[in-house]
């Protein structure tokens, strides 16, 4: 547990820990930390968490027990009852129990705790700590963590720090399509997410965001039904990496929902496959006098692996992710990163009164991505003014040609026999 410093000085930590917390009532139980108990796990590159820690003292001196009191700030890594971490102020000290001291709390903010301090961190998310909830049958999970450990059918060939999800599913086929045109979509997404955090109390500048490497490959086959947008979430991911700021464990909450999406007019039949690789960044910066502004970018490239187009029409398939990033269980920003593959084909025919006729068919495949997001009301956890509405983070859209083709035929007017 952490105690704010006086007059803007650095906060200190105590030899107390959060034994339990009730989010509904704001009540917590504070107990003495056990020296022999292991500390909570932290993200790679971060120092051990300070959810249960010693009070600030001279090097080599024994930690001095400090009773909890009104005004103390609880800054804790995940604990029972607060799986996303906890940032709260003690408003009332209650009875002593066998488990510890009962207290009542209210939400706090980083400005109260960090005051004029300055901190910055960009922490890779350990893929082995990511909780994955498959939403479709057959989703396969693989990861490779720094240090060489791996998991899953593709874990051994992944770059260190990467998580991969493989998926395949049938989708609604256009009415009247032959059995050979049954629609399906399959592929994988591979990512290595990082969380970003910056706090500058004296300059009143802050940042929150996520970034990372992204690679995906997916295939659309058949003639998808038209008139509806097929959006298929296939996995939910959650992680709570900790960025250690002095004595303060800043808990960043990361949630991702990976999805497949298909839009079609029900006329075009495709057998197309695309590779996408690159990186993305979504976030927001705060500056006093300017408020929150977007800090989002993407640099991805794609290439067709397979391309077969039959009949005129249009179709678009996306393998993307909805992401939300927050602090201590409070959502700060949300974004949707959506790389896509779009195919279209046209057919034209012309005839003249003299009997001449011509027909031309053309087709093209295009890669692209959409990246957009918004800020949430609760981002006042930085100690900034409370937002009264969502603030769009802007939208990035890029599209580029991948491959194309066409064919033409003509017929001359028939001449009467001599």
Question: What are the tokens at 298?
Answer: 């993407």
User: Which one, of 376, 118, 129, lies nearest residue 250 by Cα?
Assistant: 118
User: What pLDDT does residue 2 have?
Assistant: 63
User: What pLDDT does residue 412 have?
Assistant: 43
Match 């400005």 to its residue by tokens: 111
User: What pLDDT does residue 137 have?
Assistant: 92
Burial of 153 by CB count in 10 Å (0-12 exposed, 13-18 middle, 19+ buried)? exposed
C-alpha–C-alpha distance, residues 26 and 260, integer Å:
39
Q: pLDDT tens for residues 329-373?
A: 877 788 899 999 888 888 644 444 444 444 456 888 888 999 888
Backbone angles phi, psi at 156, to 5 degrees: -65, -25
- Give the residues of the chain that fall short of pLDDT 50: 36-66, 348-359, 377, 408-418
- CA distances to 79, 320, 385 from 288, rounded to whole Å, are 33, 34, 10
Q: pLDDT tens for residues 155-194?
A: 988 998 999 999 999 988 888 888 888 889 999 999 999 9
Burial of 220 by CB count in 10 Å (0-12 exposed, 13-18 middle, 19+ buried)? buried
DSSP strand pairing (269-287 vs 330-351): unpaired
User: What pLDDT does residue 160 have?
Assistant: 87
**DSSP letter (8 states) at residue 411:** E
Question: What are the tokens at 406?
Answer: 């066409």
C-alpha–C-alpha distance, residues 166 and 136, integer Å:
11
**DSSP letter (8 states) at residue 163:** E
Q: Which H or E element spans position 400?
A: strand 391-411
- Name 95's Cβ contacts closer than 8 Å, sequence gap at least 6: 101, 102
- CA distances to 259, 323, 366 from 301, rounded to whole Å, are 20, 21, 11
Instruction: Look at residue 190 and give its three-state secondary structure.
Output: strand
What are the DSSP E strand ranges found in 201-294? 205-222, 229-239, 242-245, 248-264, 269-287, 291-294
- Bridge partners of 263, per DSSP, are 229, 316
User: Which one, of 319, 183, 170, lies nearest residue 258 by Cα?
Assistant: 319
C-alpha–C-alpha distance, residues 119 and 114, integer Å:
9
- Name 286's Cβ contacts closer than 8 Å, sequence gap at least 6: 204, 205, 206, 207, 292, 293, 382, 384
């Amino acid at each position: 547990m952490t105690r704010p410093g006086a007059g803007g000085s650095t906060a200190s930590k105590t030899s107390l820990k959060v034994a339990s917390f009730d989010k509904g009532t704001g009540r917590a139980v504070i107990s003495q930390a056990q020296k022999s108990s292991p500390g909570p796990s932290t993200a790679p590159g971060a120092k051990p968490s300070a959810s249960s820690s010693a009070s600030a003292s001279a090097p080599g001196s024994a930690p001095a027990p400090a009773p909890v009191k009104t005004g103390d700030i609880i800054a804790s890594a995940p604990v029972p009852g607060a799986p996303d971490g906890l940032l709260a102020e003690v408003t009332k000290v209650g009875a002593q129990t066998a488990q510890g001291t009962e207290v009542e709390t209210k939400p706090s903010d980083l400005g109260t705790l960090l005051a004029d301090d300055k901190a910055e961190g960009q922490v890779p998310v350990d893929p082995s700590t990511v909780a994955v909830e498959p939403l479709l049958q057959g989703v396969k999970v693989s990861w490779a963590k720094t240090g060489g450990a791996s998991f899953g059918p593709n874990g051994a060939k992944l770059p260190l720090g990467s998580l991969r999800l493989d998926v395949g599913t049938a989708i609604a086929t256009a009415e009247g399509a032959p059995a050979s045109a049954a629609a399906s979509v399959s592929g994988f997404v591979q990512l290595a997410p990082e969380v970003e955090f910056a706090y500058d109390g004296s300059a009143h500048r802050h940042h929150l965001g996520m970034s990372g490497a992204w690679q995906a490959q997916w295939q659309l086959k058949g003639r998808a039904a038209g008139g509806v947008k097929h959006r298929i979430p296939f996995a939910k991911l959650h992680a709570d990496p900790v960025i250690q700021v002095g004595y303060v464990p800043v808990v960043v909450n990361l949630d991702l929902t990976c999805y497949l999406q298909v839009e079609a007019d029900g006329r075009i039949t495709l057998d197309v496959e695309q590779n996408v690789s690159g990186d993305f960044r979504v976030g927001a910066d705060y500056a006093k006098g300017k408020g929150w502004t977007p800090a989002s970018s993407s640099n991805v490239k794609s290439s067709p692996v397979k391309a077969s187009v039959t009949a005129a029409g249009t179709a678009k398939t996306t393998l993307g992710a909805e992401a939300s990033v927050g602090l201590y269980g409070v959502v700060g920003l949300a974004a949707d990163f959506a790389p896509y593959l779009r195919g279209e084909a046209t057919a034209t025919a012309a005839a003249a009164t003299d009997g001449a006729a011509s027909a031309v068919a053309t087709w093209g495949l295009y890669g692209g991505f959409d990246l957009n997001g918004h800020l949430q009301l609760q981002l006042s956890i930085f100690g900034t003014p409370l937002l009264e509405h969502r603030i769009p983070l802007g939208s990035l859209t890029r599209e580029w040609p991948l491959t194309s083709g066409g064919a033409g035929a003509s017929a001359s007017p028939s001449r009467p026999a001599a």
